[in-house]
């Protein structure tokens, strides 16, 4: 349980030969014809750099390798013999020097020294240049700290890779280069590092690069800041809700094993339009049009709009639910006969929703469910994890092959200063509180004002300023990342709300007239009558698997308690090195035993995300310190002790959850169906 020491190298890079270009004119970086040895050295540097870049970002390496220089970059030797470079910006006749023409390395050292390097893990730098300033900054970083560099000029990158040995920057993906304003590409590159970014990030401006491409660097800074906001909200949600999420999944396991998966829906409606109906305030503008469209488009509704649609005689083909709170069951109470509406849920949804739903249900695949009952029993298709039911509805429409996907009621902002569309189920929950002093309008406004500390302004579909908040903004970030990768068309027919990158804005009437022109064939919907929607034959096997998981957790707890006792003993021996060294030998075999409980540990980690985050944070921050000797050992022991104690606490919580799940299985098997 005591992590091994790890870290980056010392940041040193071998010396390189200097490229000396002709004195006049801009040109591609090249060697003079009579400098054969320097040409060989350049090739060696380029190959070494490209090999390192290919290992961490092969797509960018390929683009750089294929790039044909346009003559806007000049590379020459500074007075000290070190390469320096100038760039001729588009539309300008005055080149901009990116590095000192006297001593680029001294300048780079001053740049790095001006950056306060403390407990941050991510340093976002504008401009790559020839990499001198990046190498100097990287040499000061410790532990797992890394660089994100924004650089739009592929020619600049190619010149740098041909000229300066920067291969060490790319070790372990330590330097991420962003070259476009493509939000999807940015998210995919930064996602693996999102937790470290949440622990501390700093924006660093390289002024010469800012003079060349200031608007690009400003746009990327905003995109990265927005991404961090999204990651922070996602992380807080994950850590805060981890225990109740695992509890909901476990309680839904009998349903998971006794209902059919979504697998038959894959590409079932390929080429037919899908309409995702969300509960934003703009839904009121076009909700009545949906009645006529339900035969010519696949309607996928979020749970919040379900009762509102039913009240208007609109029966969506699908409804989605994923919210963990018991309040969600109110969206399904008193809905009557719904045999023609297929409920698709994530297993993390509160079990009260499927327990009260009388129609067809499918539960999506889930990693924790697989840990609970094994891959064989839990095998089924899943969808990308969504932050909201609207994301889930969108992913379902995408899974079913719908094209285009038409968004309705997806404001993601406070259109007309309200949060919900009139008549949604949440207004029914507010009804007992209404009086002449507390109206629906007032409660809508209070719902917004409660979030005033996280309010922000964005642009609506007409380009006007509109309010949203951090939470809604993170939903927008996820949607825009999704839209950038969708092979088909996404139409924003909300007729209000925030402008969404990657969509085409149309009215619902226009979208319907252009895309909803033929009826959905009855044969595509016939599966609802042909499917067996409840099969209890696998319930007993699922119950046995949960029993085995409890036994595995008990075995791990025994070893963890032994580790706690050993770590506490080691703390008392810190002042006695010989005794400490003799006793610490017992740690490794015990750690091996604990590592053998990997299955149980994965489940405990899912329940105790906070303990896992604390361990991750403590381990990374320890690498940033200058602590040595006894003080370092003391800090390591304290870190490991907190972590192992957190594992034990998480194991006890997990056992309680699994026991509750077994009771659910018993009830389901006794009565032949899943009950509340």
**Mean pLDDT of the residues in the chain:** 86
What is the pLDDT at residue 16?
30
Average pLDDT of the residues in 192-208: 90
State yes or no: pLDDT of 434 exceeds 60.
Answer: yes
Average pLDDT of the residues in 116-122: 86
Decide which of 623 and 211 is more confident.
Answer: 211
pLDDT tens column, 218-271: 999 999 998 888 777 777 766 667 889 999 999 999 999 999 999 999 999 999
Question: In this structure, what DSSP letter does residue 420 have?
Answer: S
Least confident window among 359-363, 469-473, 575-579, 644-648: 469-473
Reported as a pLDDT band with limits 50, 70 and 90, residue 9 is very low
State yes or no: pLDDT of 641 exceeds 70.
Answer: yes
- CA distances 545 to 158, 370, 378, Å, are 56, 10, 11
Reported as a pLDDT band with limits 50, 70 and 90, residue 420 is low
The C-alpha angle 543, 548, 549, rounded to 5 degrees, equals 95
What is the pLDDT at residue 447?
63
State yes or no: pLDDT of 8 exceeds 60.
Answer: no
Least confident window among 22-31, 304-313, 578-587, 653-662: 22-31
The residues near 643 (Cβ < 8 Å, ≥ 6 apart) are: 1, 611, 614, 615, 618
What is the pLDDT at residue 624?
66
What is the pLDDT at residue 241?
79
Find the helix or strand (DSSP H, E) in which 459 lies: strand 455-459
Task: Give the closest residue to 377 by CA, choosing from 553, 531, 543.
Answer: 543
Give alpha helix (H) positions in 22-72: 36-56, 58-66
Highest mean pLDDT among 19-33, 63-77, 421-435: 63-77
The whole-angstrom separation of Cα 232 and Cα 615 is: 18
Per cent of the chain over pLDDT 90 is 59
State yes or no: pLDDT of 38 exceeds 90.
Answer: no
Q: Where are the beta strands (DSSP E) in 78-169?
A: 83-87, 96-97, 122-126, 146-150
Reported as a pLDDT band with limits 50, 70 and 90, residue 212 is very high
Average pLDDT of the residues in 603-615: 78
Highest mean pLDDT among 67-71, 368-372, 497-501: 368-372
State yes or no: pLDDT of 402 exceeds 90.
Answer: yes
Reported as a pLDDT band with limits 50, 70 and 90, residue 431 is low
What is the pLDDT at residue 469?
77
Reported as a pLDDT band with limits 50, 70 and 90, residue 456 is confident
pLDDT tens column, 271-298: 999 999 998 888 988 899 999 999 999 9
What is the pLDDT at residue 459?
84
The whole-angstrom separation of Cα 445 and Cα 535 is: 47
Q: CB atoms < 10 A from the CB of 261, how many? A: 16
Decide which of 511 and 143 is more confident.
Answer: 511
- The residue whose two tokens read 């919210």 is 323
Find the helix or strand (DSSP H, E) in which 276 lies: strand 274-277
State yes or no: pLDDT of 361 exceeds 70.
Answer: yes
Average pLDDT of the residues in 65-75: 91
Question: In this structure, what DSSP letter does residue 317 have?
Answer: S
């Amino acid at each position: 349980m005591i992590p091994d020491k790890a870290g980056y190298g010392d940041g040193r890079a071998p010396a390189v030969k200097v490229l000396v270009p002709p004195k006049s004119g801009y040109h591609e970086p090249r060697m003079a014809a009579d400098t054969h040895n320097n040409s060989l050295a350049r090739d060696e540097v380029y190959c070494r750099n490209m090999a390192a870049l290919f290992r961490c970002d092969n797509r960018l390496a390929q683009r750089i390798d294929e790039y044909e220089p346009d003559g806007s970059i000049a590379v020459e030797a500074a007075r000290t013999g070190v390469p320096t470079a100038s760039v001729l910006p588009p539309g300008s006749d005055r080149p901009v020097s990116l590095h000192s023409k006297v001593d680029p390395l001294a300048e780079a050292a001053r740049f790095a020294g001006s950056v306060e390097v403390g407990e941050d893990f991510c340093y976002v730098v504008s401009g790559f240049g020839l990499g001198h300033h990046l190498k100097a900054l990287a040499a000061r970083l410790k532990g797992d700290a890394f660089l994100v560099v924004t650089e739009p000029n592929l020619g600049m990158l190619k010149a740098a890779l041909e000229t300066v040995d920067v291969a060490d920057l790319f070790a372990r993906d330590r330097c991420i280069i962003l070259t476009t304003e493509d939000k999807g590409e940015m998210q995919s590159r930064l996602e693996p590092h999102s937790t470290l970014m949440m622990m501390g990030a700093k924006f660093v401006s390289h002024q010469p690069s800012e003079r060349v491409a200031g608007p690009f660097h400003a746009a990327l800074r905003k995109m990265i800041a927005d991404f961090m906001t999204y990651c922070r909200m996602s992380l807080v949600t994950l850590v805060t809700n981890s225990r109740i999420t695992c509890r909901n999944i476990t309680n839904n396991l009998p349903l998971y094993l006794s209902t059919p998966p979504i697998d038959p829906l894959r590409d079932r409606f390929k080429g037919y339009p899908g309409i995702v109906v969300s509960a934003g305030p703009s839904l009121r503008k076009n909700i009545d049009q949906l009645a006529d469209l339900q035969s010519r488009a696949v309607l996928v509704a979020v749970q919040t709009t379900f009762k509102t649609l039913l009240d208007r005689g609109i029966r969506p083909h699908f409804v989605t639910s994923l919210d963990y709170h018991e309040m969600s069951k109110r969206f399904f109470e008193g809905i009557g006969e719904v045999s023609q509406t297929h409920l698709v849920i994530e297993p993390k949804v509160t079990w009260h929703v499927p327990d009260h739903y009388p129609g067809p249900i499918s539960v999506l695949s889930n990693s924790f469910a697989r840990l609970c009952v094994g891959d064989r029993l839990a095998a089924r298709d899943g969808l990308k994890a969504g932050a909201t039911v609207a994301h889930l509805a969108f992913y379902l429409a995408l899974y079913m092959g719908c094209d285009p996907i038409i968004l309705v009621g997806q404001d993601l902002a406070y259109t007309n200063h309200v949060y919900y569309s009139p008549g949604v189920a949440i207004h029914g929950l507010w009804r007992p509180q209404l009086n002449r002093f507390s109206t629906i309008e007032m409660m809508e406004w209070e719902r917004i004002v409660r979030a005033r500390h996280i309010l922000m302004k964005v642009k609506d579909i007409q380009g006007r300023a509109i309010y949203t908040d951090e939470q809604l903004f993170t939903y927008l970030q996820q949607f825009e990342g999704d839209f950038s990768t969708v092979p088909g068309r996404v139409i924003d027919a909300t007729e209000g709300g925030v402008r969404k990158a990657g969509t085409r804005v149309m009215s619902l009437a226009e979208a319907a007239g252009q895309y909803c022109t033929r009826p959905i064939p009855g044969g595509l919907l016939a599966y609802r009558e042909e499917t067996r929607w409840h099969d209890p034959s696998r319930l007993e096997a699922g119950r046995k698997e949960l029993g085995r998981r409890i036994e595995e957790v008990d075995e791990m707890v025994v070893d963890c308690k032994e580790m706690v006792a050993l770590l506490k003993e080691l703390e008392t021996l810190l002042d006695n090195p010989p005794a400490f060294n003799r006793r610490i030998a017992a740690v490794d075999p015990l750690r091996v035993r604990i590592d053998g409980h990997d299955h149980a540990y994965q489940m405990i980690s899912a329940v105790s995300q906070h303990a896992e985050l604390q361990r991750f944070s403590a381990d990374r921050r320890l690498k940033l310190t200058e602590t040595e000797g006894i003080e370092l050992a003391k800090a390591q022991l304290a870190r490991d002790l907190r972590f192992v104690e957190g594992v034990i606490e998480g194991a006890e919580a997990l056992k309680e959850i699994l026991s509750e799940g077994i009771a659910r299985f018993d009830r389901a098997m006794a009565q032949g169906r899943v009950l509340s």
